[in-house]
């Protein structure tokens, strides 16, 4: 179970042709319910756009981030995934604290917390 986001690292890289590449690395506190073990997991999202974080003190999650794969809709697009947390109403359509689009994502690390 994802408990909360404990780190946000947003970077913009510019190459010699002035092409921009954006990435967002989120660190999550993850709890294994059966054992009570806690882990810190990092996931990197690539080519991030429309990144939005609302005013907050802590970024608690109800379960995990919601990821909509827009390719399933049959659209060809650069920003394949729409990622956000739950609005609090449990309908997976709105966001409460964080929202963005990205072209891909990758697991970076998992370590004991």
Which of left, alpha, beta for 92 (phi over 0: left; psi -120 to 50: alpha)? left
Report the pLDDT value the prediction gives residue 3, as an integer from 0 to 100.
81
Report the pLDDT value the prediction gives residue 88, as an integer from 0 to 100.
66
- pLDDT tens sequence across 1-23: 788 889 999 999 998 888 889 99
Report the pLDDT value the prediction gives residue 41, as an integer from 0 to 100.
94
Q: Is the dihedral of CA 38, 44, 64, 52 positive or negative?
A: positive
Whole-angstrom distance, CA of residue 46 vs CA of residue 48 = 5
Report the pLDDT value the prediction gives residue 10, as an integer from 0 to 100.
96
- Yes or no: say if 65 and 2 are a contact pair by the CB < 8 Å rule: yes
The better pLDDT of the pair 18, 58 is held by: 18
- pLDDT tens sequence across 66-108: 888 888 776 667 889 999 888 766 666 667 789 999 999 999 9
Whole-angstrom distance, CA of residue 40 vs CA of residue 111 = 5
Q: Which residues contact 98 (CB under 8 A, 6 or more apart)?
A: 5, 52, 53, 54, 59, 65, 83, 84, 85
Tokens, residue 4: 């909360």
Q: Indicate yes or no: pTM above 0.95.
A: no
């Amino acid at each position: 179970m994802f408990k909360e986001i404990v780190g946000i690292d947003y970077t913009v890289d510019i190459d010699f042709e002035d092409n921009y590449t954006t990435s967002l690395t989120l660190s999550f506190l993850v709890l294994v319910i059966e054992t009570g073990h806690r882990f810190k997991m990092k996931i990197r999202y690539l080519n991030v756009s429309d990144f939005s974080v609302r005013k907050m003190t802590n970024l608690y999650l109800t379960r995990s981030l919601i990821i909509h794969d827009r390719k399933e809709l049959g659209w060809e697009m650069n920003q394949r995934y729409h990622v956000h947390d739950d609005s609090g109403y449990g309908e997976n359509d709105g966001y409460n604290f964080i929202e963005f689009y990205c072209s891909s994502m990758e697991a970076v690390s998992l370590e004991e917390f």
